[in-house]
């Protein structure tokens, strides 16, 4: 029987970015399949935008991100970032790719790398179009799809799924009714996939 992992993440989450490739390695190793859910900070469940955290927590958050990014071989540009638009709409483009059977994970990687490693404004539609096209997608077509009913419907339904299932941070992985929050919990998910529920 196929093992299906509900993958709840945010395009604008640095933790989702640095944890994506280890997650994909785990998926390949265990033969699991990914069922993606796209959303953004879930304040109703206790999620907190980084800008709303106390300064001491923000400083620790940045140090911890750098440590994990180094461990994962990722570059993060966290200081002196220019003013950027909300990255959440980039999820619409990725949802469109997913619904159209395109390699949505590759588009996710391209958008997140641009945003977190180079501070590119993926909240800007024209920037998204350029990134998608450079990654081998039809940027024009995906940009036009962002506002379509099926794309917006999935965005809304995915948020409801996340709220209902207790998600508050990203990335979150749900398997066999159990929720694992954070890329640092992938080892617990791996144990579960291998038949040992932590």
Catalytic residues: 13
DSSP state for residue 51 in the 8-state scheme? G
Residue 181, CA distances (Å) to 7, 123, 173, 195 in order: 10, 26, 6, 19
Torsion of CA 158, 163, 169, 175, to 10 degrees: -70
Longest dimension (CA), the chain: 48
| Residues in CB range of 88: below 8 A, 6 or more apart | 10, 11, 12, 40, 123
CB 18 within 8 A of CB 64: no
């Amino acid at each position: 029987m196929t093992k299906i992992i509900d993958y709840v993440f945010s395009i604008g989450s640095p933790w989702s970015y640095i944890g994506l490739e280890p997650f994909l390695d785990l998926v390949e190793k265990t033969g699991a399949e990914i069922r993606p859910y796209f959303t953004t900070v879930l304040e109703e469940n206790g999620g907190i935008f980084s800008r709303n955290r106390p300064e001491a927590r923000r400083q620790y958050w940045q140090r911890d991100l750098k440590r994990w990014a180094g461990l994962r071989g990722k570059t993060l540009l966290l200081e002196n970032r220019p003013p950027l638009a909300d990255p959440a709409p980039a999820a619409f483009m990725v949802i469109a790719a997913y619904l159209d059977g395109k390699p949505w994970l590759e588009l996710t990687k391209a958008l997140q790398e641009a945003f977190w490693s180079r501070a590119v404004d993926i909240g800007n539609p024209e920037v998204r179009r350029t990134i998608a096209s450079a990654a081998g997608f039809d940027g024009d077509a995906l940009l036009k799809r962002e506002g379509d009913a099926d794309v917006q419907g999935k965005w809304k339904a995915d948020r409801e799924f996340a709220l209902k299932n207790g998600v508050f941070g990203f990335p979150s992985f749900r398997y066999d009714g159990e929720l694992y929050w954070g890329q640092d919990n992938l080892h617990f998910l791996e144990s579960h996939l291998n038949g040992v529920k932590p």
